[in-house]
């Protein structure tokens, strides 16, 4: 019989990273399979609108999206929210801000 090692206690099933805006905590989706979808965008120097949208839809669960939309952010601030959420998943929380392009 093969040896079985239970690593369950080393995994985090309960906590999700969050960012805070105006005192409101917003949950970030950190599921690995979803992160694999946005990794190509994270390596780009310039992000397009479609990149920002894909990252937004992937990073934030529906409830978090509703909270963000309630702030009625301009596009620059919206992009900052998305990029800082991605940086938070990288463990740094203060990642380099990429410049979105509108083409």
Average pLDDT, the chain: 88
Tokens of 11: 């995994």
Domain parsing of the chain, residue ranges: 20-100
Grouping H, G, I as helix, E, B as strand and the rest as coil, residue 24 is strand
Task: Dump pLDDT digits (tens) for 19-59.
Answer: 999 999 999 999 999 999 999 998 888 999 999 999 999 99
**Is pTM, for the whole model, over 0.85?**
no
The yes-or-no verdict on residue 82 having pLDDT over 50 is yes
Give the pLDDT of residue 99.
52
Q: In 3D, which of 86, 33, 21, 31 has the Cα closest to residue 56? A: 86
CB 34 within 8 A of CB 42: no
Grouping H, G, I as helix, E, B as strand and the rest as coil, residue 47 is strand
The yes-or-no verdict on residue 12 having pLDDT over 50 is yes
Give the pLDDT of residue 100.
53
**Nearest 10 degrees: Cα torsion 49, 52, 53, 54:** 120
Question: For 4-27, what is the mean pLDDT?
Answer: 92
Q: What proportion of the chain, given as a percentage, has pLDDT over 70?
A: 87
């Amino acid at each position: 019989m093969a040896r079985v090692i239970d690593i369950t206690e080393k995994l985090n099933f309960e906590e999700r990273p969050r960012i805070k805006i105006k005192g409101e905590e917003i949950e970030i989706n950190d599921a690995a399979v979803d992160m694999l979808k946005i990794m190509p965008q994270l390596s780009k120097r310039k992000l397009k609108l479609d990149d920002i949208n894909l990252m937004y839809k992937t990073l934030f669960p529906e409830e978090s999206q509703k909270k963000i939309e309630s702030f009625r952010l301009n596009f620059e601030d919206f992009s900052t929210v998305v990029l800082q959420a991605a940086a938070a998943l990288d463990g740094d929380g203060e990642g380099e801000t990429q410049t979105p392009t509108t083409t």
